[in-house]
């Protein structure tokens, strides 16, 4: 009889716990798909004609794939409102060949460049521990990293919220990536 009462008491508690867990999961999924940048918000608009002008600046081959940087100008055809920024598209090579894209709003590009400059200087001397990793992340889920492994210092670029896509570079290639971002910003400055 005590078992029966325990089971009947546990059922509502279990139901409430399952409900709370599923509600949290739904909120996390919704947040993962909500636009995080002005560019994402602009192109997600409905009931409006959005003109997307763009120039591919360069593609950089890395370890395990490529990264392509593109400059964008989005225009609302009715209001003439414009948004500017860049995208970083990563494509993994190999058996999966996954790809992903992250948008960086124009007003976030300088912060990204400063973040790249800062993490490029990290070399592990900041700690007595054996390994290190330094990351900079944008609102649109672009993450740039510097870290060490058995072969020395490596860098990485990854994009995406779910199922991140990453490409890795030697430090000198990482500086090429930075220069491509500078060139992408200069392309936008020329049309603003």
Q: What are the pLDDT digits (tens) for 103-152?
A: 999 999 999 999 999 999 998 888 889 899 999 999 999 999 999 988 88
Number of domains in the chain: 1
So what's the pLDDT on residue 25? 41
Among candidates 153, 147, 144, 151, which has minimal Cα distance to 172?
153
Q: Is residue 101 part of a domain?
A: yes
Distance CA(20)–CA(13), nearest Å, equals 11
Q: Which of 109, 57, 102, 117 is nearest to 84 (CA)?
A: 109
For residue 178, the enclosing domain spans 38-189
139-173 pLDDT per residue, tens: 999 999 999 988 889 999 999 988 899 999 999 99
Residue 8 reports pLDDT greater than 90? no
> Within a domain: residue 185?
yes
In a domain, 24, yes or no: no
Could you tell me the pLDDT band of residue 92, with boundaries at 50, 70 and 90? very high
Q: Residue 129 gets which letter from DSSP?
A: S
Residue 77, phi-psi category: left (phi > 0), alpha (psi -120 to 50), beta (remainder) = alpha
Distances (CA, A) of 114 to 26, 57, 92, 170: 35, 20, 26, 19
Q: Decide: 160 and 100 in contact? Cβ < 8 Å.
A: yes
Partners of 165 in the β-ladder: 159
Choice between 127 and 75, residue whose per-residue pLDDT is larger: 75
Look at residue 81 in the predicted model and tell me its pLDDT.
96
Does residue 83 form part of some domain? yes
Judge whether 14 lies within some domain.
no
**How many degrees, rounded to 5, is the angle at CA 99 between CA 118 and CA 180?**
40
Q: Residue 85 above 60 pLDDT? A: yes
Summarize the confidence of residues 5-25 as an average pLDDT: 49
Residue 175 resides in a domain: yes
CB burial string 163-179: b at 16+ within 10 A, e below = eebbbbbeeebbeebbe
Instruction: Give the mean pLDDT of 58-78.
Output: 96
> Confidence class of residue 17 from pLDDT cuts 50, 70 and 90?
very low
CATH number at residue 137: 3.30.2450
Residue 111 lies in a domain: yes
2, part of any domain: no
């Amino acid at each position: 009889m005590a078992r029966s009462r325990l089971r009947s008491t546990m059922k509502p508690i279990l139901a409430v716990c399952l409900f709370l867990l599923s509600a949290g999961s739904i909120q996390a999924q919704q947040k993962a798909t909500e636009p995080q940048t002005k560019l994402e918000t602009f192109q997600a608009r409905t009931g409006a004609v959005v003109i997307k002008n763009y120039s591919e600046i360069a593609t950089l081959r890395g370890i395990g794939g490529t990264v392509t940087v593109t400059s964008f100008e989005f225009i609302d055809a009715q209001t003439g409102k414009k948004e500017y920024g860049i995208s970083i598209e990563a494509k993994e090579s190999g058996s999966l060949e996954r790809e992903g894209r992250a948008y960086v709003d124009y007003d976030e590009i300088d912060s990204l460049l400063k973040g790249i400059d800062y993490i490029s200087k990290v070399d592990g001397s900041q700690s007595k521990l054996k390994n290190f990793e330094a990351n900079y992340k944008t609102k649109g889920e672009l993450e740039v990293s510097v870290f060490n492994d058995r072969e020395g210092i490596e860098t990485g670029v990854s994009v995406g919220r779910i199922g991140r896509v990453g490409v890795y570079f030697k430090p000198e290639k990482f500086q090429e990536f930075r220069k491509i971002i500078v060139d992408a910003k200069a392309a936008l400055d020329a049309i603003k």
